[in-house]
Amino acid sequence: LHVPLLDFHTALLFQGHLIKNPSTQRAKSLLDIPSAHRIVISGTPIQNNLKELWALFNFCCPELLGDNKWFKERYEHAILRGNDKNASEREKRIGSTVAKELRERIQPYFLRRLKKEVFGEDDTSTAKLSKKNEIIVWLKLTACQRRLYEAFLNSEIVLSAFDGSPLAALTILKKICDHPLLLTKRAAEDVLEGMDSMLNPEDASVAEKLAMHVADVAETNDFQDNHDNLSCKISFLLSLLDTLIPEGHHVLIFSQTRKMLNHIQESLVLNDYKFLRIDGTTKASDRVKIVNDFQEGNGAPIFLLTSQVGGLGLTLTKADRVIVVDPAWNPSTDNQSVDRAYRIGQTKDVLVYRLMTCGTVEEKIYRKQIYKGGLFKTATEHKEQIRYFSQQDLRELFSLPKQGFDISLTQKQLHEEHDSQHKMDELLETHIKFLETLGIAGVSHHSLLFSKTAPVQVVEEEDEDIRKKENMVVRHSSSSSSVEQKPDGAVYAFKPKDIMMSRKSLSPIEVAKLTESEIKQRINRLSQIYANKITILRLPDKGAKIEKQIAELNAELQKMKTAEVTEKETEVGVDDITGQLQKVLNV
């Protein structure tokens, strides 16, 4: 199948973070589309690591952040080391300086808008966005969950799985935190739900064996006596709904899996609650009606959703309470779920409950989410976030908590860091006091995680290691723009190919090598397009523009090859670079 190749004016990617992995066919195909301008729209430009930020900018501004290897050496390594809780003061200073440089480099091409920024701040008629409070409710495992969790971690089959398939073991631990009935022999066949995309065939096979092992252990427990009290999450959920529904609240309940939603649904039915539900089995034609029924308040104040289906694209502003039953591996998944209710059009204050079990893999996953969130904040905001956790913390997923399952060390740390900061209104304060009567371990304020700036000074220019790291030449290029050039900073924003920054210790030979490689790649890509005669014949100019571009690139390449090695290159100091970037920012 041959699709006519057009020379597009603009390529705009909605949900652009879907090209975060440049090795996927989707990303490769989109990169091959010729366009004068490229725009990426995303609410989560970094979901897991800084390489994802590089991938998005590699699409929009191909040379802005260099190639993947250069970006990793120049930015990622230093920022990761500086963000580590156990980083030395020197590593923190270096990471802070490199992060600052990264922010300055991307700022002319990175437009970030928060919901609150589109609303007026005065007393005009412009509607203001309601408030959002997010709390983490720390739960204590039930006696049944504790026995299963401890038996699983102490078993020989698990110890052998750690070496070969640790992700499989984590999958089982997560199920225990949610509900023991997810690991009966009958349910063990579906243990991979919600994790199948993350597990390779070997991991999947190990996970199924581990699930059957837990099912054997579970047979010694009587699971049928009191269904609601088997899971600390179901027990808390019912107690919470007993208060929220009579008060007139509308509630979204998100889970990663259909099986967990089934157990929640069973408990709701037994307690005579009305509810609506959407998951992966719901027909697209039915989803619209279900969403409309909820938004119009037709009979059901509770809405059950799987995060993968209900967490994207839906507007559910009728809800003012959101309960995330189980944390996702990817923090953006939970954030997307919350945004179903907290979005433009919401007129009520929204309260979000994230349910976490103390001392378990869930708590450690949450710590991992904080680390990922810290990377995004460090890369895109002018703050150094408090360093909560070290990389070593993230490796300790398979140990039983020394403090037991009734205390959360994360909750304790967050309380020490932020409790004095938080100013609660009277209603929220009263509600949290009520939650504490339900037998929980405690409450943390998720909203404040990245509100405190770490006391880290930016490294001075005299630091020799930073000077070495800053030795660079970056040459930006893009397809020609239809926008007329503007003076001063605008010329850089509209014509990034005209920017050239260099350090005096980088020789012209090194400059030529870097640029030669880039030009050769462009020539190769354009030549492949030009070789497709069927496609070329369909173009209005019969490929004349592509032919001209190839000729110009070849001429530039030849010019570079014949240039004198001793040709003097313009030297630009750090102050000059900062000045150029500042011009762009002031446009």
Give the gyration radius of the chain's Cα atoms: 27
Enumerate residues 6+ apart whose C-beta is below 8 A from 317.
295, 341, 343, 345, 346, 347
pLDDT confidence of residue 473: 34
pLDDT confidence of residue 296: 92
Q: Fold for domain 115-139+231-360+401-447?
A: Rossmann fold (3.40.50)
pLDDT confidence of residue 196: 52
The beta strands (E) that lie in 394-489 are given as 442-445, 473-475
Strands 350-357 and 321-324: parallel
In one-letter notation, the amino acid at residue 66 is G
The whole-angstrom separation of Cα 515 and Cα 105 is: 19
pLDDT confidence of residue 535: 65
Mean pLDDT by 10 residues, the chain (587 residues): 64 83 85 84 75 86 85 87 81 88 87 69 56 92 90 74 66 88 64 53 64 65 63 96 96 93 95 94 89 89 88 84 87 82 88 94 76 53 48 63 85 75 81 94 76 44 44 36 33 37 36 60 76 71 84 81 49 38 36
Domain parsing of the chain, residue ranges = 115-139+231-360+401-447, 143-218
**Structural tokens at position 279:** 């998951």
The beta strands (E) that lie in 129-199 are given as 132-139
* Angstrom distances, CA of residue 393 to CA of 166, 341, 390: 16, 33, 5
pLDDT confidence of residue 573: 38
CB-CB neighbours of 530 under 10 Å: 15
Prediction pTM value: 0.61
The alpha helices in 187-227, defined as continuous H runs, are: 201-218
